[in-house]
Structure 1
Amino acid sequence: MHVMALLKREMFNVSIHGQPASLEDVFPNWHEHDRFGLVIDEVFGGIGATHLLQLAMTAYYDVKVSRRTTLTVYPEIYAFHIGKGHGAHAHYDFWPARREVILKTLDHREVLDAINDRGITRLAVPDRPMRDVVHRPKEEDAAFDRIESAFVYSASGRTAAADLAISGNDKRTEHNPRQTLRPLSELRQNRVSSATGRPVKEADDTFLHWIVEREADVTDEDRALVQSRRDALKVDGLVEETYRRVGIAEALKRLASAGAPAK
């Protein structure tokens, strides 16, 4: 829940087609019942969508002020790990653990079922080839009826043919990727949120157990590779990420290739 106190919209610069833009341009007509879904199909892949995710969480709290004041709620965000777990992303406030959905299948029908079950309204999918596939009856129509925005992202943080760029202008925007990539040994030693100074999920035994469980998803080499990739994007400690806004139909066609080797 540190995100509630950590992030503000002023910490991000947004541009669309090279022109200054706003959170509302990225997520038109965001409302209090919106839910953001992030499809992940490679080790720590969600880190490449850090700023889009963080902007969505900012929108979640901004649309209903009581979420930052009197309520104690985590943002309605869901990570869908395709094929297997790809490393815990819980530091981003995908919490409780049910918000990281581990789908041990590459079946596109199961993936869309899971997205529909969680009522996702804004969806980000990895940049995979489009495939013409058949979903279960009415599941595709349900997605078309409900999902309002779709994005393609790259685990590298830079997406080909991008039209949307989001950059951090405050070093706190790198807190979540930094925490996500910290070795388990360090996390065991520091279990109080540095953002609030109060014990939060990081101090909860169930949180640590989840991180330990997901540790088997990754190797030390994986962690080092993703860290070096993130570091390569940094300018004065800050990162710009790029995305491609797409129609819902295209997102679902790319979703069908998530988890499969790129050809």
Structure 2
Amino acid sequence: MHVVTLLKANMFDVEIDGKPASIAEALPDWNPHDRFGLVIDDALGGIGATHLLQIAITSFYDVKPSRRTELTVYPEIYAFHIGKGYGAHAPYDFWPARREVITSRDHREVLDAINDRGITRLAVPDRQPQEVVHRPKEVDAALDRIVSAFVYSPSGRVSDPDLVISGNDRRTEYNPNSALRPRYYRQPAGFGFDGSQAGQEVDPSYQEWLRKREHDLTSEERAFVERRREALRQDGLVTETYRRAGVREALMRLASAGLD
């Protein structure tokens, strides 16, 4: 639950269509019941959507300030791994582990999972759209509920972007660094976790989840993603680009996710 204190809205600069903009313009009409969903189909691919995810997290807390002070709640964010796990994204506070959903490659099951979690803001990888048939009424359910959708690249940069999000504080790179190099904590002798601690980092089940997901990718894949992220950094900061998309387009891209 470290993101409660780690991330603030003023750590990010936003541009839309080449002009300075606000987080509220990137995520219009955000409300206390919004849920962010991130579809992942590449090794630690969600790192490419780091800043979009993080402004969604700040919006989750800012729309209801008591979530930062009186309550102890994780942000309503969900990762959907297509076909298999692609490495733990729990360091972004996709926690408990049920927030990282591993689906089959069947686009119908992916949409089922998205609808089951009530996702209202959706980010999908930049894959070729395909005309597909989903289960009856599942598309209508998604169209009725999802407010905005985005296309991202695991590399952090898409072609022809219309949304640019930059970190202006080095703390915005804490989460991707933690995903690339998981932080393991050894508990002192006699220490017991009862759920009352401030963060999941000392929770044995969290440590177990990180170790379980370590085998989702090879050391070579992890090193490649780390080099790719480092190549984007200037003075420790990263600028990412996205394309805003219609919900129908985003759903069409689900059919190609995980096929490369």
Q: 1:86 to 1:190 in 2, by over 3 A?
A: farther
Q: 1:187 maps to which residue?
A: 184
C-alpha distance in structure 1 between counterparts of 2:152 and 2:16, whole Å: 15
Percent identity for Structure 1 against Structure 2: 67
Residue 199 of structure 1, CA deviation: 5.6
C-alpha distance in structure 2 between counterparts of 1:90 and 1:46, whole Å: 11
1:68 aligned counterpart, secondary structure = helix
After TM superposition, the score normalised by the length of structure 2 is 0.95
Q: 1:60 maps to which residue?
A: 60
Residue 218 of structure 1, CA deviation: 1.2
Q: 2:145 maps to which residue?
A: 146
2:184 aligned counterpart, secondary structure = helix
After TM superposition, the score normalised by the length of structure 1 is 0.94
2:240 aligned counterpart, secondary structure = strand
Residue 187 of structure 1, CA deviation: 2.1
C-alpha distance in structure 2 between counterparts of 1:188 and 1:166, whole Å: 32
Are 2:18 and 1:31 aligned? Answer: no
Q: 2:117 maps to which residue?
A: 118
Are 2:6 and 1:9 aligned? Answer: no
Q: 2:166 maps to which residue?
A: 167
CA RMSD of aligned residues (A): 1.3
C-alpha distance in structure 1 between counterparts of 2:219 and 2:186, whole Å: 19
C-alpha distance in structure 2 between counterparts of 1:190 and 1:161, whole Å: 47
Q: Deviations over 1:159-206 (max 9, x none)?
A: 1111000000000000000011115xx524599xxxxxx762011100
C-alpha distance in structure 1 between counterparts of 2:48 and 2:9, whole Å: 19
- Unmatched runs of 5 consecutive residues or more in structure 2: 189-196
C-alpha distance in structure 2 between counterparts of 1:36 and 1:81, whole Å: 14
C-alpha distance in structure 2 between counterparts of 1:206 and 1:230, whole Å: 28
2:164 aligned counterpart, secondary structure = strand
C-alpha distance in structure 2 between counterparts of 1:160 and 1:213, whole Å: 34
Q: Superposition pairs for residues 198-237 of structure 1, below 5 Å? A: 200-237=199-236
- Unmatched runs of 5 consecutive residues or more in structure 1: 192-197
Q: Deviations over 1:191-235 (max 9, x none)?
A: 9xxxxxx76201110000101111110111111100000000000
C-alpha distance in structure 1 between counterparts of 2:14 and 2:97, whole Å: 30
